[in-house]
Amino acid sequence: MLTTIRAAACAALAALPLLAQPVMAQDKVLKFATPQDFTVVYTFVTAEYNQGYRDYITLINERGGLGGIKIDVLVSDHGNAIQRGMEAFERSTRDGAILVDPLSTPVSRALVTRALQDKVNLITTMSGRSDAADGTVFPYVLPMSPSYWSQVARMVDYIRQEEKDLKGKKLAYVYIDTPFGRESLPLWEALAKKDGFELQTYPYAPPGNEQSAVWTQVRRFRPDWVFIGGGGVGQPVSIKEAIRNGIRVDRIASWVWLSESDMDVVGRAEAKGVLKFAVTEQGADSKVIKDIIAEVVDKGKGAGPKDKVGTSYYNVGVMAAALAAEGARKALEKNPTGPFTGEWLNAGLTSISKFDLGGFLPPITITPEDHQGGGQGKVARWDGVKWVAVTGWGAANQDIIWEMIRKQAAEFKATGK
């Protein structure tokens, strides 16, 4: 499995030098940077996400850009290491990037203060600090997607509906022992208190390719449901270990970081029944994905293999790029002549209104006060071949979540931590 992952990561990295070149020789180019983890923890997550991101930007550029202005994507690898992430941020902004998307909670958390100081838009799609939803405290940190708190809340609410009542039920949270995995712990504790279920948490060491000892403890707990909170190599390992330790497959749930690639590692038939949070429509049948195939991939301009187009991680990358591009379009509406700075783009990003990319996304509205955008998603189940939505768009427990957001944001404002 690791050999396959490393091969995919190396293939993705092989294209990076090409992407450091300007889109075309012209003065007006917007630069978005995606320094991400292609090689250590998130590997194929990043490869597919970044492929979707770049393909959507290519679609925009092939259609003439935004009022004739093209977007250049600067790609690099930080290996999920904080120091390398900070160095990549420095290089990217020195090269003119006004938006940086590190796709890493540890790296993005380390970059928050610098992004606020430099007024560079730090995008934390489906990752990062959950309290960054408070734009009054974090004006240049923009999740523009459901936080880990919102994802967990939605999934626990679905479990509650399935069980009718969670009082007396046992829920286990098995997670990667990094800021990423630990981010949702306060929300888990709040929901356990609210819904009356017994919660046990089980961290495992990153990257997560060895979890057997943890799952022995989980088995002894005899949980009614298990939620796995990792990304990359750790996710399929968690599912395999859960099954090996007698957990019913249809009682395994997770957040957005499960894709077709993870199911291939587990075994597509063996993983049938697993649940996850979905922030986009699944598969390649949506209009935007069909447009990318026709106008980018089939013309030989895609950023990766065609068989990854429309995977869950690819689609999240499309979402991130589409929101960034929509923010730039809004900024151009407000001020078509620039200067094209982080402040200029921020004014557009915080003006996004009811954006759903033709139904590909739930309606997302970003304001100077609310950088999350509603926290909506669907619950999807793996049917052995593909992810199938079992609910419509929805959010849960946003009152609790916003109370936590404001509390932690206030602590950051007071302490800088």
Q: Mind listing the pLDDT tens digit for each residue in 112-140?
A: 999 999 999 999 999 899 999 999 999 99
CATH of the domain at 252: 3.40.50.2300
- pLDDT given for residue 28 in this prediction: 85
Question: Which of 15-24, 89-98, 202-211, 278-287 has the weakest average pLDDT?
Answer: 15-24
Q: Is residue 417 part of a domain?
A: no
Task: Please provide the DSSP assignment of 53-79 as one string.
Answer: HHHHHHHHHHTTTBTTBEEEEEEEE-T
In a domain? residue 128: yes
The verdict on whether omega for the bond into residue 207 sits within 30 degrees of 0, i.e. cis, is yes
pLDDT digits (tens, 9 = 90+) for 345-400: 999 999 999 999 999 999 999 999 999 999 999 999 999 999 999 999 999 999 99
Pairing assessment for the beta strands 198-204 and 141-142 based on DSSP bridges = unpaired
Taking the C-alpha atoms of residue 91 and residue 223, their distance in angstroms, rounded to an integer, is 47
In this structure, are 36 and 131 located in the same domain?
yes
pLDDT at residue 306 tops 80: yes
Structure tokens at 194: 């609210």
Q: Label the pairing between strands 275-278 and 378-382.
A: antiparallel
107 lies in the same domain as 170: no
Q: Give the pLDDT band of residue 27 (cuts 50, 70, 90).
A: low
Identify the pLDDT of residue 417.
87
pLDDT at 170 over 90: yes
Residue 22 has pLDDT above 70, yes or no: no
The count of domains in the chain is 2
Q: What's the sign of the alpha-carbon dihedral 207, 208, 210, 216?
A: positive
- In angstroms, rounded to a whole number, what is the distance separating the alpha carbons of residues 406 and 73? 33
Residues 35 and 76: beta-carbon distance below 8 Å: yes
Q: Residues 212, 355: one domain?
A: no
Do 86 and 26 lie in a common domain?
yes
Assess contact for 395 and 154: CB atoms under 8 A: yes
Residue 403: the pLDDT is 96
Q: Are residues 293 and 167 in the same domain?
A: no
3-class secondary-structure state, position 3: helix
- In the chain, the amino acid numbered 311 is T
Mean pLDDT computed over 219-243: 96
The answer to whether residue 414 is domain-embedded is no
How many residues appear in the chain? 417
- 232 pLDDT more than 90: no
Backbone φ and ψ for 76, nearest 5 degrees, come out as -150, 170
The answer to whether residue 413 sits within a structural domain is: no
Q: Say yes or no: 244 and 306 in one domain.
A: no
Please give the average per-residue pLDDT across 193-197, as a whole number.
Answer: 97
Mean pLDDT, residues 83-108? 95
Position 107 in a domain: yes
Identify the pLDDT of residue 24: 39
Interatomic CA distance for residues 372 and 345, integer angstroms:
17
Q: Is 8 domain-assigned? A: yes
The reported pLDDT for the residue numbered 3 is: 33
For 143-231, strand residue ranges (E) read 170-176, 198-204, 225-229
- pLDDT at residue 7 above 70? no
Those residues whose C-beta lies under 8 Å from the C-beta of residue 210, and which sit 6 or more positions away, are: 204, 237
Inform me whether the pLDDT recorded for 10 exceeds 60. Answer: no
Tell me if 104 sits within 8 A of 37, measured CB to CB: yes
> Is residue 51's pLDDT more than 70?
yes
Q: Specify whether 84 is located in the same domain as 221.
A: no
Position 45 scores a pLDDT of 87
Mean pLDDT of 247-276: 96
pLDDT of residue 26: 42
- pLDDT for res 413: 95
DSSP code for 316? H
3-class DSSP assignment, residue 126:
coil
pLDDT at 9 over 60: no
Tokens of 392: 């419509």
Which tokens hold the place of 285?
């049948």
Residue 175 in this model has a pLDDT that exceeds 60: yes
Would 416 be classed as within a structural domain? no
CA 276 to chain centroid:
13
> Other C-beta atoms within 10 Å of 286: how many?
20
Question: Do 316 and 384 belong together in one domain?
Answer: no
150 near 129, Cβ under 8 Å? no
Between strands 378-382 and 387-389, the pairing is antiparallel
The alpha carbon of 195 is separated from its chain's Cα centroid by a whole number of angstroms, namely: 27
Same domain as 206, residue 323: no
Place of tokens 């259609």: 63
pLDDT at 402: 97
Span 308-356, pLDDT tens digits: 999 999 999 999 999 999 999 999 999 999 899 999 999 999 999 999 9
Question: Which residues are CB-contacts of 151 (< 8 A; sequence separation ≥ 6)?
Answer: 126, 184, 255, 256, 277, 377
Q: What is the largest CA-CA distance in the chain?
A: 64
Q: Which domain holds residue 57?
A: 2-146+282-375
On whether both 191 and 206 belong to a single domain, the answer is: yes
Predicted pLDDT at 18: 38
Tell whether 350 and 265 lie within a shared domain.
Answer: no
Let me know if residue 301 belongs to a domain: yes
Same domain, 171 and 219: yes
